[in-house]
Every structure is written in C-alpha cells, then in structure tokens.
C-alpha cells in the first residue's frame, strides 16, 4: 500500500481494495469453511478483544502508507499478513465453533460495530488526499456490512419461526 507520488494510482487503488476485501470476504469464508478446525480453539479470543485487535491492526495497516512514521520496514509485506491474522482472530467468534462463539445477538452487534469502525482509517486515507484508495477500501469492506445484514435477517427469521412454534397460552 505504498502511496508514493511516483507510482501510478491504479496499483495502489487495487491494493487498498484488496486489503479491504481480504479480511471482509476471503478470511470469513475460510473460517466458515473450516469452522470446526481445532486450530480455531487455540487462536480464539473473546469477541470484544478480537474486534479491538482487528480495528487497531486495520488502522495501522491502512494508515501505514500515508503516514510515514507508521510504515514498518517491508511495508505491505509486513502489514498485510498481520492484518489477515487479526481478521482470522476476529471472525473465529463470529463464525467458528469455539468456546468464544457468539450467539446471534452478539454476532449482529459485533458485525454492526466492526463495519463503521473499519471504515474510519479509509476516511483518514481520503483526508490525506488519496480519495480513490480510500474509496476502494470502503468498497472492499462492503461485504462485512452485507454479512451483518444477513446475520440479522437470519436471526430475525429464526426468532419468528420459534415464536410461531411456541405453544399459545390463553390470557
């Protein structure tokens, strides 16, 4: 995610879009596919800690390019794997089968909190004068909001189904 002036904007826009898409789509898909893997129990954290870790790591990875003091040696070769690892830790309580698995209300809350918090660094990128890169990041993160809506929809339908099956009591 090098935003050097000598670079063409297209590769950096694609890199930012991919940096948003990977933790919002690819990582949860893999965790969901392997949700019963014993590895998840070892890396599982409580959802609040996992969310904070992802938000801070994401901010560091996204803002490392525009803010020179945050750029680690190696740049995206360092920040991207750390971001993917933080995304795995975040998605484990949401879709994995571990001791920290969230119920439906917790999953909704976690995802609806994560979506805008993860977009804040992209707004910083836009404010730093890299509008296309920031917008690419926001668009890349949209599947997270779609997942939040899908979890909420599924939960609401399950609650309605449970209410319909519950025995009726006369007043």
Q: Which two tokens stand for residue 113?
A: 């909190």
User: Which residue, among 42, 15, 31, 50, has the nearest Cα to 147 in the 3D structure?
Assistant: 31
pLDDT tens for residues 72-92?
676 677 788 899 999 999 999
CA dihedral for 61, 65, 70, 73, sign (positive or negative): positive
**pTM of whole model > 0.95?**
no
d(CA 130, CA 128): 6
What's the pLDDT tens digit per position in 20-46?
A: 888 999 999 999 999 888 888 898 999
For residue 102, give both structure tokens: 């969230």
Rg of the chain in Å (alpha carbons): 18
Q: What is the pLDDT of residue 157?
A: 92
pLDDT in tens, 107-138: 999 999 999 999 999 998 898 888 898 899 99
Task: Characterize 94-123 residue by residue with b for buried, 16 or more Cβ atoms within 10 angstroms of its Cβ, and e for exposed.
Answer: bbbebebbbeeebbbbbbbebbebbbebbe
């Amino acid at each position: 995610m090098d935003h050097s002036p000598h670079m063409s904007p297209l590769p950096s826009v694609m890199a930012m879009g991919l940096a948003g898409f990977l933790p919002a789509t690819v990582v949860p898909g893999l965790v969901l596919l392997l949700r019963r893997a014993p590895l998840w129990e070892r890396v599982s954290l409580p959802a609040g800690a996992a969310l904070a870790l992802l938000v801070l790591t994401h901010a560091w990875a996204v803002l490392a390019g525009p803010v020179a003091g945050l750029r680690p040696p190696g740049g995206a070769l360092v920040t991207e794997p750390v971001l993917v690892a933080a995304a795995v830790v975040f998605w484990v309580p949401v879709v994995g089968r571990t001791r920290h698995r969230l119920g439906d209300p917790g999953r909704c809350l976690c995802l609806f909190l994560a979506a805008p918090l993860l977009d804040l660094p992209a707004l910083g990128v836009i404010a730093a004068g890299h509008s296309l890169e920031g917008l690419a990041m926001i668009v890349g993160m949209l599947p997270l909001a779609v997942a939040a809506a899908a979890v909420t929809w599924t939960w609401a339908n399950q609650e309605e189904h449970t209410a319909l099956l519950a025995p009726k009591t006369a007043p």
